[in-house]
Structure formats: C-alpha cells, structure tokens
Structure 1
Amino acid sequence: MSLPTAHKAAAVDLKNEKGVVIKDKPLPVLGDDDILIKVRAVTLNPADYKQIWDWGVLKDGQSTGCDFAGDVAKLSPGAEGKGLKVGDPVAGFVRGGFAEDDNGAFQEYVKKPVENVWKVPTDVVSYEEAAAMGGISLSTVVHGLYHRMKLPPPWAPAKEPIPILIWAGATSVGIYAIKLAKLSGLRVATTASPQNHAMLKELGAEACFDYRDPDAPKKIKEWSQGKIKHGIDTISDGKSTALAAQAYSNDGGQICTMFPTDSGNSRVEVLDLFIFHATEKDKVEYFQQMNEWYKKLPEFASQLKTVMPLYQRKGGLDALPDAIAELRSGKIRAGKISVLF
C-alpha cells in the first residue's frame, strides 16, 4: 500500500474559538512494534475538549482525539507475525497528541502498538460502534470493575448477585458500566434524570433513582439493604462521590472515580481511573490488562454493539471542529457523537 508523507489532522489552535483546526501534518513515525491505521470512524469524549480547554495539557499544533476505528495500513518489522496484517479492521484509543505531537485519533492515520488494539469483527459491528467499544469509556469501565475492584467479569459471572452503584448512569461511562455489570451478574442501582430511567433499566439497571432527590443515597441504601460495597462515580466532582458514598454499607467499600477526589467517608476507598495509562508500555500492569481485555472483546461484540447511542455527524474529518464544540456545549446527553471518515 502506497502511503502519503503527510495527511489531514485536527490540531489544537487556541486562537480559534473551537480550539481545533484541520491542517496538514506529518504521518506518525512508527516504533519497533507499531502499526499504522487508516482511520475510518471516531467517537468523541469530554476528554477531547477538556485536554485543550480545561486541563491545558494539549498545546497549539498538537493532534487531538482518543477513540478510533480503521484498517491496518502498515506494520513495523516488530509488529509482523503478531496476529494482524495490512487491511485488518482494528479499534482502540490514544491520548490525543499528549504522548506524541503528531499522533491523535482525529486524523487520517494513527499509530498504535500492535497488541494495544482490538481486531474488529466487521460482520458484527460497524466502524463507529467499534470506535466506541474500543474507546476510553468502555475501557474505563473494564479497568474499574475487573482490575481495580476485582469483580467477576462477564466470562465468569457472579454466582451470587452483588449490588453495585453506578452514580450518573446516563453518561457514556455509566451506560457501559450498567451493561457490563449486568453481564457480570451484578445487581445494578443507578442515578439519572427520570427521563433516562427507562433506557437504563433496559440496559440492565434494576433500580433507578433521581440524582436530584436529596434522599437518593438513603433510598439506594434501603434498596440494597445496606449491602453496597462497590460503585463507579462517573461525575467525580467531589460532591457526587460523597453522595454516592452515603449509599454504601456501614462497613464501607470501594468507589471508582474519573479523577482523584474524596468520598467524605474514611471507610469508602476512592480508586481513581486514569485509563490513559493503558496506552503506556511502561505502565506494565495497565497496558497488559487492556491488551487482555481487547482479546476478550470480540466475544461480547454482539451484546455491546448497540449499547451506546451514537449521534453521527456528517462531513468526515472536516466535521470535527464543530462536533467538538457541540460536545463542549453540553448539548449531547446519554450517548456519543460519532464521525465516519
């Protein structure tokens, strides 16, 4: 396959009101065991704009974007013979241009270590669905449920129902958390606006509570008979974590959060989930655990493919500045924006 020396990419431009512009950039330079992927679809996450505007970790000219799906375009010598070939459909995530200025998901080509992607069964899922499933939302849930809290996974589900609280279940992390917890044999309680309760119950939530109800923690504790010892707070603004912890067993437990925060309860241990470590080879445990999950993911593709509502924006790569601005505006609820290249 003949490859260009440059390609189109969404790059940070802090002088632009949308924060990104489409420009020509050099292709990512492959390492010893990397693959180059021709991007076919991406899905968006709050991290895509927060890394620019809120956290300030991306600077002018750096690439952007996390979740992607596409086809293998090139293998470095060290990637040969490791299960993939040119043309194979794969998906995964990167941390925008943070690790390397020219390597983000929102561009024509992205690079990844050969073992750090999942091979997509395109007869089962679309590229857009694959991007969402291989991206940071579902991966965060997997890391929290099975690696940090050591709960039973879907391939060895719980023999006895274990209650779990998903605080803010209508977020992208919450939606996947409810479905995976249900597949794992857990009893799920969640909070959300009442308008989303029916959808979350269809995913597998046994009980839904209005997050605006000041008595929600008390009601959740009553529902579980004081047995909740595990949970995920998908908001993690401090206040939300403290509210969730009020629903826990008197013995305490563990709650996974998106950022470091405080539960306000010495018995409820906070486990923050920094999923980008799963893309870093020197974070060996994170990296290997993600690679093992990606081997399992095709087995559950048919059950997870329609879990996340996708709101497609047309226009390919050129649609991304507007799509990022739309997500930042807060208009997208209970789903993800997707863009097909």
Structure 2
Amino acid sequence: MNSGSTSGTRIYNGRMSRLNDDTVWFAPMVEEYARYLRANMGLSENTVRAYAKDAVRCCTALHAMGISGFEQVTTDALRDWMAQEAQITSRTSLARRTVAVRRFFGWMAEHGKTATDPAAALHIPKAAHYLPDVLNEQQAQTLMEQVDDEAGARGAVAQPQADGEQHDGKAQTPQQHALAQRDCAMVELLYATGIRVAELTGLNMADVHADNRTIRVTGKGNKQRVVPYGIPAQRALDAWMEHGRAVLAAVSSGDALFLGSRGGRIDQRIVREVVHREAQRAGVPDISPHALRHSAATHLLDGGADLREVQEMLGHSSLRTTQRYTHVSIEQLKARYAQAFPRA
C-alpha cells in the first residue's frame, strides 16, 4: 500500500496496519474496488466497509497459502478458503462472505484487472433458515412501559427540573433526565417503526413529521421511505425533541435527531447498549434493536397488516425476507394453541 494512503485503515477497521508491505499485495485492488462501490453502486459506507472487509479476509487467507498475486488465485484455492471458513463461522456468514468474494473477483474480471474470474464457479452455501427472535406483545408492552416510566413519558410530558427531579425514587440531574427521555424515544421509535439501528442513528430532526406522525428513513442503498408511528412514540419524541435534546446539544450536534452524552450524533453501539439494558430492567428476554424490528413486523402481521405493507414499512427489497415473519406468527399461534386447547 502506498505510504500516503490512509483509506486502508478506515476501510478495514485498522486490520491493514498489522500487515507489512509484502503481505498487502491485494490492498490497492481492494481500495479501488471500495472506491468503485461508493461512486457507482450507491452503497452506504457500512455496506462498502463490509464488502471490503470480506475481500481482505479472503485475500489474507490466500496469502497464507503462499499466493502473492491475483493471477495466482485459482478456483481450488478459493474453495480451500471456503473450507477453512466453514470450520470457524456459521453457514449464514459463509454465504455472505462467498457472495462478497464472488462480486470482488467478478468486478476485477469485468474491468480487465484479471484475465479470468476464478470465483465464478464457487457455489454459494445455502444459509440456514431460522426464525427471528421476537418479544410477544405482552413483553413488548412491558418493555415500553419500562422506558416510559424511566423518562416520565406516560401521561403528561415530563418537564426537566433545573435542580434535578425525583424519578422512580431517584434524584436525576437534568442530563440524566435528558438521557432517559432520549432512550425512551429511541426504544419507542424502534418498536413503533421497525427501522434498523443504522437508520435510527441516521435520522435528522427534519426527518420527523409530527403533523402526520411519520418519519423519513434513509435505508440500504440510500433508498428513502416514509414510515408511520403511533401516539406513544410521538409522546416520547415530543419530550425528547422539546426538552431533552436541548440539554445534550452541542456545536457538533448539527441536525442529528438523537445525540450522545457529549452532543454528537449517537453511535449504534450506544443504541444497542440501551436496548439490552432496558430489556434487562424490564425483566423481558434479552434482545437487540434488530429483535425489536422483528417484533414490530410480527405484531403487525398478527394484527392483520398486509404482507406487502409490512415489506414497504421495513424497507425489504424482497417479499421473501418479509415472509419470515409469517412463520414466526404461525409458530406463536401453534404455541398458544398447545397451551389453550384441551385436545392439543
């Protein structure tokens, strides 16, 4: 890699810095591929980073096999890499990495970087089908009540007190109360809309349309969609936007809807920590933000929503992805039947 290049560290999360010049024969090509994805495919930075990381992972394994250039890569070598990966990763991850590697080598062949495409013959493993983890409706209600109570969001909108306020028996500073209002708004909105955590952290103030209770979401591939939300989420958003956000706001805040404790746009890691913590406090199964997305989709379908409407709301490009939640609903129906029906 050229000594003046810094993109490798950014793309690969620092992994390239641990490789010497002899082992990074593939780095310039991966960096060029990442630039192509950004400029021509309209992919998000997270997606570009994931593709580049998978390409680096494969090339690093090829280097360990004694390969020092793309012209030396064969289909058998790539199959050996897949065999190694199969020993240490899930079928779902292996399938994703194989797709990424096929696209990388396909791009090189298509653009004349290599004479052949050794990855074209790779068979993509069939990912194992699984039912997403979800909360049932009562558990989701319990979780929402937990965050609402912590923020004082149920009933009238809570007003932060300058000298701290009494909340669940504990005095809160204005910042602590603002954080509770933020956490409540994030959890309520995740469940109410089923949006991805990356979509939540990317929201701006202007994306919230309180007049018709919708948000404008920028999803995968920078595709935008409008998603509705309900009155409880609106109440939590009002408390955060009208009172809590101003407490945390700083020069670095910009138009970001949700802020970290230092005023910058909130990080996805913080959102995940909040959801795990609140689930534990509420006494419901430990879940991730993505499990809230699964729960929202399942409960919508249980309530009679049309499958294509749910697909549009979640931003799924394929109806098949949305159909997973119909299986979850059927499994829950079977479980309730077994509990309730005397001849089950």
Taking structure 1 as the reference length, what is the TM-score of the superposition?
A: 0.28
| Greater Rg by CA | 2
Q: Which structure carries more strand by proportion?
A: 1
Question: Which has the higher relative contact order, 1 or 2, with Cα contacts under 8 A spaced 6 or more apart?
Answer: 1
